[in-house]
């Protein structure tokens, strides 16, 4: 894949990685990071999975709006995307792996059409492309 990037963003992590801080070059993101309680941390700061979940949800909704408009079936304004990111032990290599469950809510259309629109967005979304084949993903549409 060849990408002609028209935008770049830079962020820097310091401290212990998951137990430190992350700051974007623009300063709009300046967060203390703490592992979640489920992974032995205090859970008082953000964590990489929370940031990934937020970015993925926003990107996927943008992809849904773009692809549905291109197909002539623009989704209603009240449409939403919720991405649940999981992290846990990878049984294959003993390290850690991620999962992503993508729930697309499209009111006012039938379930088959909603699923078709969600799958179209999944094929188009840069986050989905970047992670396809690398993490377990599910895409479910609700109406």
What's the pLDDT tens digit per position in 21-32?
999 999 999 999
For the stretch 39-70, pLDDT in tens is: 999 999 999 999 999 999 999 999 999 999 99
* Protein fold of 48-141: GMP Synthetase; Chain A, domain 3 (3.30.300)
Grade residue 94 by pLDDT with cuts at 50, 70 and 90. Answer: confident
* Protein fold of 1-46: N-terminal domain of TfIIb (2.20.25)
Task: Answer yes or no: is pLDDT of 91 > 90.
Answer: no
* Percent share of the chain, pLDDT over 90: 96
Q: Are strands 80-89 and 11-15 parallel, antiparallel or unpaired?
A: unpaired
Q: Are strands 96-105 and 136-142 parallel, antiparallel or unpaired?
A: parallel
| Predicted structure pTM score | 0.94
Q: Would 1-46 and 48-141 be classified into the same CATH topology?
A: no
**Where are the domains positioned within the chain?**
1-46, 48-141
Residue 11 burial (10 A CB sphere; 0-12, 13-18, 19+): middle
């Amino acid at each position: 894949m060849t990408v002609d990037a028209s935008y770049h963003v830079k962020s820097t992590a310091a401290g212990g990685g998951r137990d430190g801080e992350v700051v974007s070059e623009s300063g709009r993101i300046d967060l203390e990071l703490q592992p979640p309680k489920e992974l032995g941390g205090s859970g008082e700061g953000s964590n990489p999975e929370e940031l990934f979940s937020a970015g993925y949800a926003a990107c996927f909704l943008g992809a849904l709006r773009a692809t549905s408009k291109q197909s002539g079936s623009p989704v209603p304004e009240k449409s939403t995307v919720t991405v649940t990111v999981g992290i846990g032990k990878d049984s294959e290599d003993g390290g850690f792996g991620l999962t992503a469950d993508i729930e697309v809510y499209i009111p006012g259309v039938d379930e088959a059409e909603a699923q078709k629109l969600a799958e179209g967005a999944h094929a188009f979304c840069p986050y989905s492309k970047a992670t396809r084949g690398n993490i377990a993903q599910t895409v479910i549409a609700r109406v």
